[in-house]
Every structure is written in structure tokens, then in C-alpha cells.
Structure 1
């Protein structure tokens, strides 16, 4: 509805028979309600993702990193289930912006997002909404309670992407414990993004090897980041 049309509706009034106070007609009220509902929805759709909370050690990926990782996610899903790649269960552990990116890509292609799951501590992402009005799988996750996981995902995830929030052995060890409970025992694949200093621990706890690809962030970090996997990657070295 244009602003001119809105103004015309606002000028459409009827008089109350008792006190002669001007009021909008029922038609105008309904139209205004529709206008403001649409406007609110557009604002939500256009809104940016939640800002980084450095107290939670949050550093969002840059666009190029999201694209690279999303391409690998989709390639893994196609390889594991060529006929129905969207049926592959994927868990995103502590990497909410990548989850949003992959989810948006699928929805733009009118593909199902029912099997994409976000495990995240920050509850701002639990109420995230968008214009698609589609399923949003948020599960609150705290690496300090690594055993508290969705029962329906235990041993069911064919692919897990994780980015532990802190560069400490405790955090990686706890996250690794969760990953091992989530991932399919035989064919499950892992993509781990964390500091390069965690290379030995990634091998120790997850049998993951370093790749050439280096994740980047929208706000540059002083710590060198790296990508580790437990399989031979498909779309990047």
C-alpha cells in the first residue's frame, strides 16, 4: 500500500452518533491493520542478524567464508543422499550465522530446512524470525553441559559443523564430547572451525586434520583461524 493510499484511508472517517468524535471506518481500520502488519514483517525480514556479543566470544564469519562452508555442506548432503539431500540431518554447533546462511540458501531454492539444526547458547537466535515463516530448529546448547543434547539428534547427524566459542582445551574437549554423541558413528562427517593453535587438540579429540582453507570473519581477529575435518573435503582443499 502506498503512502498516498494510506493517507486517503486515514482521512476516511465516520461520525459517532453519540459524541460526534471522528472515527475511522471499519474498512479503513482493516486496511491500516494490514498495512502495519506488512510493514512489521518487512522490517523483520530486512533486519540484520544479532550483533556479536564479545562476552560470549562471538565473531561472525564474513560472506566469503559462509559461501565456502555452505557450498561444502550442500556437497556433502548430495554425496550422502543423492536423491534427497535435504533429508540429511545437519547440526550447526555454535555457528549460528552459518546456519542462517545455509537455511536462507535452501529456502530461496524452495528446499526443505527441516533437517538443519542449530545448537547455540545465545537465545537471541531462538526467536529469530524472517519472511519465510518456515521451521526454525533452535536447541539451546552450553559446552559446559555437553551431555544436554536433543534426544532426537543423538547418533543421527550425518554432518556436524562446529565452531567452539573459546580457544581452550576444556571448551574443545566438551564440544568434541557433544559432537561424538550427535554424529553418525560410521559415516558421520565433521567440519571444525577454530583457532590454528588447536590443531593438536582437534586431532586428539576428533581425529580431524587441518585443511588449507582459512575461515575469515567480518571483524578481523588477531588469532589465526583454521578449518579441520575428519574426511577429504569436496569443494575446497
Structure 2
């Protein structure tokens, strides 16, 4: 039979657990309401919705979400703008923080910009959001409309595995314009050999993440970048 002190401890622990659960549920409810409000705003005034930033989106580690820091996001967004014009099509694959930053940088109004992402929270961007699962590289909305028509792609496969990268490459090859479509991959340094074998070049730009990562990250391009030259 438990002593009085042990019983008190168990009751106290149960109460503490209850408080933690209540806090988690309250935070989740608040986040849901923020997104509902943002979605309503997007429906009424999309220009205001573009002011959304990544602070609204908590990282989900189960989805391998690790957002870029602001400097990296801005550099990627600027690189996309520097290599496109007002009639270009830009796609950010599994790189929502680059997309969100790009949308805040006043891109050309006639440019078509999409985010391919598994996380449906990003559907606040309406038609610019394409639900994407790397496991099905040739199955997504707008495949027929965008096939072979994308001018610039930023891709960041969610997992550091040959399978994930290979399937993302399949999507990239479906989307990019033959010969002229430019692609910038951001992924772990351990994926270098596979990307080099696919004719990508290791650049001098190393993406950084908001919370830091234990894995070294690199970037790879299929074009000669002025701001991200080849690593010597």
C-alpha cells in the first residue's frame, strides 16, 4: 500500500500533467484560430495575406520541417528574382520558408509562383499552394499545366536519403523547362555525390536554419550563378 507521501506525489503529478495537456491544447487552438483568421484575410485581401511570415508556422519535426533563417530565405528569394522576369514561373518544392519570404519581396505581378508542400497549412496561399508528396513525384495538381514550363525551381527534399532526393529530382525534371529551366537544390552535404552525378554543381552558398542543424547543408545548381558561384 502506498504511503501518504507517495499518494500526494501521484496526485500532484497528475495535476501537473493535466495542466500541461491543457496548455498544449490551448496553444493548438490558438494556432488554428490564427490560421483561420489568416485564411479569411487571404480570401478578402490577398495582398495583406502576403505579409505572413514563418513565425506563424511552427516546425513539425515529424515532417522534417526545419525553417531557414531570415538571411537564407531572403538570399534564396533574391536569387530566384535575379534569374527570372515578370513572365516567369517559379516553384518552391518542399521549401516553404523560401516561398513565404519570396512572396513578401514584391515579386512581379505577372510572375506565377507556387509552393509544392505536404503541409496543408500553406493552403492559405490559395491556388499558389500545390499539395505535394515526394513519394508520388508525378502525381500532383497542375502537373499538366506546369509540365516543362517552370523557369526556376528551389528544391529542398524533406529527408536526407537517396530515395527522397531521387524522387524530388523526378518532379524537378518534369517541371523545369528543357534546356533553360534553372534549379537550385538545398540539401545535406551527404547528398553531394548523387547531385554531382546528375550534373549539378556544388555552390559556395551554404543555407542556414533558424534553429541550427547538426547536418551540414549545401546548395547545388544546374546553372552558373553570379551570387552563388561554384565552390572552389
Question: Which TM class, normalised by the smaller chain length?
Answer: 0.7 to 0.9
In the other structure, the counterpart of 1:72 is: 79
How far residue 136 of structure 1 moved from its aligned partner, in angstroms, is 4.8
In the other structure, the counterpart of 2:207 is: 215
With normalisation by structure 1, the TM-score equals 0.71
How far residue 212 of structure 1 moved from its aligned partner, in angstroms, is 1.2
SS class of match (1:200) = helix
In the other structure, the counterpart of 1:188 is: 181
Larger radius of gyration: 1
In the other structure, the counterpart of 1:226 is: 218
How far residue 236 of structure 1 moved from its aligned partner, in angstroms, is 2.7
Alignment of 1:1-237 (within 5 A): 48-77=55-84, 85-106=85-106, 111-112=108-109, 114-128=111-125, 136-149=127-140, 150=142, 151-204=144-197, 206-237=198-229
Output the CA distance in 2 between the equivalents of 1:136 and 1:52: 23
Cα pair 1:65 1:215 within 8 Å, conserved: yes
Output the CA distance in 1 between the equivalents of 2:91 and 2:52: 26
How far residue 46 of structure 1 moved from its aligned partner, in angstroms, is 6.5
Runs of 4 or more, structure 1, over 6 Å off, are none
With normalisation by structure 2, the TM-score equals 0.73
* Structure 2: unaligned runs, 5 residues or longer: 1-36
Cα pair 1:71 1:235 within 8 Å, conserved: no
* Structure 1: unaligned runs, 5 residues or longer: 1-36, 78-84, 129-134
Cα pair 1:72 1:234 within 8 Å, conserved: no
Cα pair 2:88 2:111 within 8 Å, conserved: no
Output the CA distance in 2 between the equivalents of 1:159 and 1:225: 21
Deviations 1:188-229 (A, max 9, x none): 11100000010011122x311111110000010000000000
Output the CA distance in 1 between the equivalents of 2:97 and 2:86: 19
Aligned length: 182
Output the CA distance in 2 between the equivalents of 1:137 and 1:46: 14
Structure 1, 98-107 or 153-162: larger mean CA deviation: 98-107
The structure whose residues are more often helix, as a share, is 2
